[in-house]
Amino acid sequence: MLINQFLLLGAVLFCIGVYGVIARRNAVLVLMSIELILNSVNINLLAFALRNGADIAGHTFALYVIAVAAAEVGVGLAIVLLIYRNRRSIALDELSTMKG
Amino acid sequence: MVAQNIAFGIIAAIMVIAAIRVVTTRNIVHAALWLVLVLAGASAQYILLAAEFLAATQILVYVGAIMVLFLFGTMLTRAQIGREGNLDNRSRVPAVLVALVLAGLLGFVLIDGFRREKLPEDPVVRTTQELSDSIFGVYAIPFWALSVVLTAAVIGAIVLARKD
Amino acid sequence: MLASATAESAGWFLEHAWIIPIVPAVGFLFELFLGKRTGKLSNHGAYFGVAALFVALVLSCGAALNWIDRADAGHGDHSALVVSGAGESLPVLSAEGEGGHSVGTTATPVIKQWTWWSNGGTTFSIGQHVDGLAVVLLVVVSFISFFVHLYSLEYVRGDRRFTHFFAALTLFTASMLNMVIAENTLQLLLGWELMGLCSFMLIGHWWEEEPNARAALKAFFTTRTGDVGLLVGICILYFSTGTFSIKDTNEVALAGTIDSRVLMWAAIALFVGCIGKSGQFPLHTWLPDAMAGPTPVSSLLHSSTMVVAGVYLVARLYGVFYQGFDMAGGGVNLILVISVITILISGLLACVQTDIKKVLAYSTVGQLAYMMLGLGAGAWTMAVFHIFTHAFFKALLFLCAGSVAHSGSHHSFDMKKDMGGLWRKMPITFWTWMLGTVSLCGIIPFAGFFSKDEILANVGYQGYELFMWLGLLGAFFTAAYMGRATYLTFLGSPRGAAAGEHHEEAHDPHAGHDAHAAHDSHAAHDSHGAHDSHGAHDSHGPHESPALITVPLVVLAVVSVASGFLNALPFGLEYFTNWFEPASQEYFPKLSHAPFHWSEALISVAIALAGLLVGLGLFAKDFGPLKGLTKRFAPARWGHTFLVNKYYLDALYEQVVVRALAHPIARAAYWVNQRVIDQIVNTAGRISAGLGRWVYRWIDQGVVDGVVNGAGMTASGSGEGLKGIQSGKVQQYGALLFGAASVAAIVLVVYIRAK
């Protein structure tokens, strides 16, 4: 297997995730897109870990990424909930209070 | 090797399509489900990459916990169940542009960088034992930091989401 | 410093005669700067002047004595006193003399010269040239000036500008003394002009009254007109002789190396200056008007000293005049013509004057004409002697007039209205006046006889018989008007102020006189100041003047009489000639002297006495047979009017000449001013204003404001444009982030690949 196939897969997922982050209105969907990004990163990590002689560090950090992602989703959703309670809407383009 | 390549190909295709559906569907719940598909696919890729423990952990944590969280969040924020009007904002075009540029760039760099480099045929399969040795041994400090992060996240989430 | 003394040892006073003008000049400075400050201590500066003049007088007398010694010693072998027998048998004397007799002195002048400034080959020097003529004038000027200063202490007491009066008087003396000892024509010119300035200042001393100011201006302008001639003459002389030095000029002129026509024009030009300064026809009109000044001024400047400057100039540069007018050839020259005309017209004019000072003024004009007559005919010594004697008795006469005005006629000079019968009340004044009068008329043995009649004798001797008879006619007139004046002033019955009435403020016949015309006897007067506010004055009637006035009168009277005997030919006394006439000098022509004939003398005395009696008698018993003549007899009336209007010369000068010249010039100047200069200025102003407006519109509003506003608009515009970046939308920030990062990455990749 070429390493490039995993790396390219990761890159594509990453870009799709970026698109989602920028283009989605709903905050939850944005968070989902962020999950896509994080997963692409994980694939990258593991691919490189395998390349470098099955380096265990890659696995370790991929695990850490999963953990962090979990934490982040938890906090992120809590925030979204708060926003929803205060603003009655979680459409991100409506949430800006800046004028002009 | 051919089998792995085929497997990879199919799973990769599924993942990409699912990911695209995540960011383009008008139904949040559908988006969540498509995301599940992506995550599962990722788990399969981990196996191909000789990281079984992680594959398992991925399913457990991501699919099992995080997606549930997402669905809870969706429910709690009264999102429309079913088709919703418009889930994309006005920045679609710039977003596409940025994504494409990024993709092009990354693609170019990767192809130019790695060409046809092959992964080792017979990789050393790392055991869980070795992984835990690494976690609690070499990378103990990041582990502890991570535990603090998790604790903070939990407490924070509780605090934030309290109905007071 | 070039000091070239032309004698071995000329005596200290002669060698240092250049100090003489400096002393009054220093006195002037003291008066000017310290006079008011020292106040009572120096009598407001007057004592500086008196002291300076006293010193100058002493120095001048010293110089005269030195000169007399020098003259006596001489280079020749003649004795000091030439005492020859009286009587017709006196041989005709020439300068060389016959039989061991020489007339005049061979003593050379004491010349000192310092370089003042030298420029490209021309040297301007300043110095002294003291010879007999200079010494005579030095003594005369300092003597009379000293006594006039004393006189003025009383006369001008309390005046509004007491200090400045004395300052001008002293400055005048300094400048005249400078002119007298001048070594070159430029120095002479300096003194000449300064005298003119002082005359202006002094005539217009009470300039607040308009007639006085006008008189001062008239005097100045008229003399200035003459001064043009003086300048031209000096220039001609310089360019033809190459030197400014008086001695050298005379020598070159007499040597005959210069074309005589050039000398003639030089002489004519110089004489024009003399006409102006000495009040000869046609520029005599300023002298009578100059009587507007205070009487001491009239006495010092306009009778004895300043007006003599013209005569002095001719006497000084006699070589030029002698050659230029070819006096040796014996023809009629300009000087003779002018002077005889002046004698006649002034004599007639003096007969119709009512102002006593004007009588004396015309008399001065006439006597100056006599001096000119003498010079024109070659009677140099007699003319100078007449300067000498005339100075004393004319000054005396003026001071007497001042005394009369001061204490007799309540500051009025009008003989007909305010004088008469004063001989009893003012005896000293009367008797000194009489002495002066008989001197002036030329009655033996008084001074005027010895000088004036000798002039006439010489004029006849040189062949100008007609002029001699005309001069005798003038002498008749002189005696006539002096008799008239004497009668009106001192004899007869008192009139007006002399009778004790004094005119109150409204009466204004004194306008233009030194009597204060802005007459307010009860307000603070100027010349009345301390005395004669009517309360303080006990007797309002005429009385004799105080000592400070009468003492100078007496002194001058004595001198007037005595001075005649310095050169009394009938008695064989020829001190003056022997001391002061230069003989056998390169710078002085050889002159011939008329012998003395008793017959001629008696004729002239008779004429004078006749005139005096006519003057007195015709007016006796309050104008006698002449009373009302002008009313009865039309030609008499016309003649009288013609004379009273001064032959309409004043009208001619002022209305015709001045108007014709000045008005067009003034109008042209006004036109230039309004049309040309003002236009230029206005146009410049308009251009500037227009430019300013253009700049305002286009540059200030357009460019500058545009730049400023543009900067502002750029800022706000760019702000407007850029504010979109901070929209508050997180996803936009995210897009920007990823976009920027990708761009950066592209750059990096390209850069690395390029390497």
Residues 6+ apart with CB under 8 A from C53: C24, C27, C142, C145, C146, C149, C170, C173
Q: How many of the other CB atoms lie within 10 Å of CB of A4?
A: 20
Task: Check A100 against C735: CB less than 8 A apart.
Answer: no
Most confident of A30-39, C37-46, C409-418, C447-456: A30-39
How many Cβ atoms from other residues are within 10 Å of residue C250's Cβ? 25
Alpha-helical (H) ranges within chain A are 3-23, 27-51, 56-87
Task: For chain C, say whether A21 makes contact (Cβ under 8 Å).
Answer: yes
Determine whether the interchain pair A59/B69 forms a contact, defined as Cβ–Cβ distance below 8 Å. Answer: no
C257 touches chain B (CB under 8 A): no
Give the pLDDT band (50/70/90) at residue C627: low
Q: Which chain B residues have a beta carbon less than 8 Å from that of C746?
A: 101, 105
CA distance B84 to A24: 13
- In this structure, of C481-495, C512-526, C593-607, the range with the lowest mean pLDDT score is C512-526
B-chain CB neighbours of A56 within 8 Å are 126, 130-131, 133-134
Is residue C732 classed exposed, middle or buried when 0-12, 13-18 and 19+ CB atoms within 10 A define those classes?
buried
CATH 1.20.120.1200 fits B2-126, yes or no: yes
**In chain B, what residues touch A71 (CB-CB under 8 Å)?**
149-150, 152-154
Q: Indicate left, alpha or beta for C585 from its phi (over 0: left) and psi (-120 to 50: alpha).
A: beta
Domain-wise residue ranges, chain A: 3-94
Kindly report the nearest CA distance between residue B10 and chain C, in angstroms: 30
What 8-state DSSP symbol labels residue C410? Answer: T
How far is the CA of B142 from the CAs of A57, B61, B146, C396, in angstroms? Answer: 12, 19, 6, 138
Contact B101 C742 (CB under 8 A): yes
Question: Which residue of chain B is at minimal alpha-carbon distance from C734?
Answer: B95
d(CA C433, CA C671): 56
Return all residues near A6 (Cβ < 8 A) that are at least 6 apart. A43, A44, A46, A47, B8, B45, B49, B119
pLDDT band for position C104 (cuts 50, 70, 90): confident
| CA–CA separation, C567 and B21 (whole Å) | 155
- The model's pTM is 0.62
Mean pLDDT value across residues C723-743: 86
- Tens of pLDDT, residue by residue over C310-358, are 999 999 999 888 888 887 777 788 889 999 999 999 998 888 888 889 9
CA distance to partner chain B, nearest, from residue C740 (Å):
9
Interchain proximity A53–B124, CB inside 8 Å: yes
Q: Which residues of B touch A11 (CB under 8 A)?
A: 103, 106-107, 110
How is domain A3-94 classified at the CATH fold level?
Helix Hairpins (1.10.287)
Confidence of residue B77 (pLDDT cuts 50, 70, 90): confident
Give strand pairing partners of C355.
C414
pLDDT band at C132 (very low <50, low <70, confident <90, very high): confident
Give the best residue of A31, A75, A80, A83 to mutate against chain B (max B CB count within 10 A). A75
Tokens 């996240």 — which residue?
B153
Q: Establish if A18 touches chain C: CB-CB under 8 angstroms.
A: yes
**Residue C505 scores a pLDDT above 50:** no
Q: B106 to chain A nearest CA, in Å?
A: 6
Question: A44 in contact with B at a CB cutoff of 8 Å?
Answer: no
pLDDT digits (tens, 9 = 90+) for C228-271: 999 999 999 999 988 888 888 888 888 888 888 888 999 999 99
- Quote the pLDDT of residue B83: 59
- Between chains, do B98 and C742 touch, taking CB under 8 Å as contact? yes
**Dihedral sign, CA of C12, C14, C18, C19?**
positive
Alpha helices in C39-74 (DSSP H): 46-73
* pLDDT confidence of residue C29: 92
